[in-house]
Amino acid sequence: MKNIDAARRPGIRFRAGVLCAALGVGLGVVLNGAWDIQVKDGEAWRTLAEKQRMRQLRVTPKRGTIYDRAGTALAISVDVPSVSMDAVEMLRGVEQKYLAGRIDGYAARIAEALHLEVAEVAEKLRRGKRFTWLKRRVTSDEVKAVRELGDRNQRYPILGLSVEGEGRRFYPHRELAASLLGFVSPDGQGREGVELALDEQLRGRAEEIRGLRDRAGRLIFSEGIQDEAALAGHDIHLTIDQSIQFLAERELDAALKTHEAKAGSILVVDPQTGEMLALASAPGFNPNDYNLADPASIRNHAIGDVFEPGSTMKMFSMAAALSANSVKPDEPVYCEEGHMPIDNVVIHDTHVSKWLTPTQILQYSSNIGIAKIGLGLGEEKLYQSFRRFGFGENPGLPVSGSSVGILRPRARPWVPVETASAAFGQGVSVTNLQLTMAMAALANRGRLLEPILVSKVTDSTGVVLSEATPKVRRQVVSPRIARMMADMLSSVTEGEGTGVEAAIPGFRVAGKTATAQKVDPTTGRYNDVTYVTSFIGFVPAERPRLVVSVVIDEPTAGANSGGSVAAPVFRRVAEQSLHYLGVRPDGTRAVKLTDVAEYAKVDDPAKSAYAALDERPDSGGEEAPADGPGVPVRDGVKVPLIEGLPMRSAIQTLLEKGFVPVIQGTGRLVRTEPAVGTKAPRGAKVVLVFEPPT
C-alpha cells in the first residue's frame, strides 16, 4: 500500500472491505447450508443417500419338496431359466429423437429371439421400468439367443437383458396322487390339494438382503443372508405309500373303464394309526400340465364328493343298536317278507325274508331289518351315534376341498320314515373319507382316530419341525361291540353274503356292500338308472392291518351293484397291498426280503437261508403247453406272472416259488429272463428288468 498513490488508497481499502464482506457472507451461506444438510436435515438426506447407494433384493426361497412315507419325492422344485429386462439400462444414453426408432429396433430383435410379439415387447420397453419379465421358462435355444443379443462385440448390443433361474414345480410321477397333491401356479402359489393347504410351509419365508449397486443398478456387494433356512421352504413327508397309491389308482382306472363309470375313489388306511396309505381319485390329471386338464378331473372325489352311502350305513346303525342294547346279537327280526309300508312310502328288500338275525340282516343287506332296528333305537340315539362316528363333521385332513357331508340336524323330531331311511343310508350324505375313518373305528377296537396325512415336517437342513402321532378323537363303541361287528361283517364276504367277491383267499374279510340310488335333480326323486356303488372293509378281520374303501359313481356298463362292481376292486387292492406289506395268511410262513443280494450269490440254494422253500409242494409244476413261452423243463417250476408289480412284490413272489431274483434297473417290472410262463429248475436265477415309468 506504501507504493500506491495516497489518493487511491481509500478506494482500494473500500473495495477490499466489500470483497471480504462478500466472501464472509458467502462463507456464512455455505456454512448455513452445510448445517442444514448435515445437522438439521441430515437424517432425511442420509436416508435418501442410502436408497440411492444401497439396493434391497427380496430372495424367494425354493419351494419345499413333498415326499411319500419312504422318502420318494412326489413333488419337487427345479430351476428353469426366465428372461427379464431393465428398460432404463437398455435405453440409457439414447437421445430423445432416436428413442422411438431404437425401441422398435430392440423390440424386433428381442421378439425374434424369444418368439414373442413385437408390439408386446415394444410396449414393455416404453413403460421404462427397471424390472419386467419378458418371458418365463424359456428354452436353451432362447437363452443362447438372448445372450448373443447382449454380446458387446457386436455393433449394437442390447444391454439390460438378464437370464435368471426361476423355480418350477415338477411332479416326477405325473398323474400319481395328482388330486391329492394339487399343483402350483407360475407365480409360485399353491393351487388345490396339499400344495394349497400347506402352501405357507412349503413356500417358506422370503428374505430381504441389502447391497451396494453401481450406476446401472447391478448388485456389487451383498451383506449376506442372515438365516440359511430362508433359502428353502419346509419339506412335507406324507404317510402315502407310493406303491399302494399306484396299485389303487391302477385298479380304480380299470374299474372306471370296465363299467364306464363317471368317477370313483379308493382310500387305504392303517386302522391302528389313522395313517393314509393311499388316496386315489379318478378321473385324474397330469399336474405338470394342469392348464390342459378338465376342471372335473382336478377334483379330489375321495374328500370332496358327497353321496348317500346306502347300505354301508347299516353297520354303523347296527353298532349303535348293539351298544344301546336295543337289539340282541341273536335276536331275530321279522322282515315282513320283503315289503314294509311306513308313513307314505314302502320299503323293499332285494332278498325276501321272514326272520333274520342281526348278522343275517348285514349279510343279506336287509333294508327292512335295519329300518326296524333303527326305529327301535330311536331317532335321537341314531343321530347321536352317527355324529360319534364322525359323520357331519370335518375329518381334519390337511387338504383343500374337503367336505363335511350332510347330516341333517334334529331341529325337529324325525318322522318314522326319516329314521328308518337314515338307518340304511338314505337322507344322509357322507364322503369316502368319513366312511373310511368310521370303518377304521370298528377295526380299531371302537376308537375313532384322526386321519394322518402328513407324518412330519422338516426344514431344508433335515431338522424335524413337527411330527404327527396317532390321536384318538373318541371311543365310539366298546371293544366288545367292535369285535362283534367284525364277526358280523365277515359274514358279508362269506357264504351267501352280498360281498363274496371281496373275499381274499387265506384271510377273513369284514366289510359291507352298498348300491345307493341317486336322486334325479329334475324330479327330486330316487331313480333306477344312476347309482353309487361301494364296498368298504378291513382285513384281516381278526387283526386288521388295512381298511380299504372303494366308491364307484354311476357305473353304466354291466352290473351296477356294490357286490359286483366295487367288491372285486376291494379284493385286488387289499390282496396286493397285504402282499406288498408282507402280511401272510394264517398258517403260512413269512419270507424275509432282506439280504436278497447275498442270496443271489449262493450257488447251491440248498445251503441258503431259503432252502425251506424247496421242501414245499408247488402247484405250478406241470409242464408248459407246447405253444407256450419257453422250453419245458422236467420237474421245473413256471416263472409266475409278475410283470407290472412293484419290486418288493415281485421279489417275494419269486422267492415263494424257489427262484433267485436278480435285480436290474428301477421303477416298474417290464420283463423277466426267463420269460413269464417259462419253466425253470428250483434255485435258478430270474433276472427282473425294471424301467422307470415314461
Residues 636 and 623: their CA atoms lie apart, in Å, by 8
Here the cell at position 234 is: 419346509
Q: How many CB atoms lie within 10 A of CB 69?
A: 16
E-strand ranges in 144-195 read 161-170, 183-184, 190-191
φ, ψ at 560 (rounded to 5°): -135, 25
Residues forming a β-bridge with 281: 265
Burial of 441 (0-12, 13-18, 19+ CB in 10 A): buried
Residues 554 and 540: their CA atoms lie apart, in Å, by 29
Give helix 479-490 / helix 314-323 axis angle, nearest 10°: 140
Among the listed residues 243, 311, 323, 400, the single catalytic one is 311
Residues 500 and 294: their CA atoms lie apart, in Å, by 36
Residues 453 and 543: their CA atoms lie apart, in Å, by 23
Q: Which of 676, 680, 675 lies closest to 637 in space, CA to CA?
A: 680
Pairing relationship of beta strands 219-222 and 207-213 according to DSSP bridges: antiparallel
Please confirm, yes or no, whether 402 is among the known catalytic residues: no
Give exposure, 344-366, as e/b (b: 16+ Cβ within 10 Å): eeebebeeebeebbbbbbbbbbb
Q: Which of 390, 415, 66 lies closest to 235 in space, CA to CA?
A: 66
Residues 451 and 440: their CA atoms lie apart, in Å, by 10
Task: State the Cα torsion 349-350-351-353 to the nearest 10°.
Answer: 20
Q: Are 265 and 297 in contact (CB under 8 A)?
A: no
Triad 249, 252, 256: Cα angle to 5°: 135
Residue numbers annotated as active site = 311
